[in-house]
Amino acid sequence: MNFDAFVAANPLVRFSIYTHLQSPRVIELGSSIKARLDFILAEQGKADISEGDAYGDIWLWTLGAYEVVRTMADPKWEGAWSPEKYREIVEYKRFLSDMRVPFAKQELRSGKAVSAENSIAGVDHENRTYFFEIEGKVFDVREQIDSFEWPTRRCCSRPSRQ
């Protein structure tokens, strides 16, 4: 594969080689979480954690996904994106931070200590996912994992960082 083909297949490399290397690790971790949830929630009404639970990896995924997007949203790199893409990245960072802050700091974005926000608030056996509820906002783990791909895979509309 020549360099132009590589960049076309991996547009995030135009922004940062480091972010390009980190993003697939977050995606791979998300895939392993989904596979584990498929096993855990395979049988209606049961949660089989005999081979481990996904909670610790969900915590780690949340931190990694946020850090990748936080870097992309840093105002010093705004010129690396089209104005529309930059707004999307910043909005996505804000969305992720609602879940990241309780997981990383054991507090809400307001600074108030967490109560049950880091606890699994529900499960969906049909879609094989966990839910967390943070300040009245429900986070679907599988949906969160799937949503990470859009800003990192289809990200760059300018040729390089400026």
Please state the pTM of the whole predicted model.
Answer: 0.83
What local confidence, expressed as pLDDT, does residue 143 receive? Answer: 92
Hey, how many other C-beta atoms are within 10 angstroms of the C-beta on 76? 7
What local confidence, expressed as pLDDT, does residue 161 receive? Answer: 36
Give residue-wise pLDDT tens across range 36-82: 999 999 999 999 999 989 999 999 999 999 999 999 999 998 888 88
What is the DSSP code (8-state) at residue 2? -
pLDDT-derived band at 34, boundaries 50, 70, 90: very high
Annotated domain spans of the chain: 29-153
Residue 157 pLDDT > 70: no
What local confidence, expressed as pLDDT, does residue 151 receive? Answer: 58
Residue 120 pLDDT > 70: yes
Residue 153 pLDDT > 70: no
How would you label 106-132 residue by residue, b for 16+ Cβ within 10 Å and e otherwise?
eebeeeeeeeebbebeebeeeebbbeb
Cα 101 to Cα 43, 54, 93, 107, 119: the distances in Å are 32, 19, 11, 6, 14
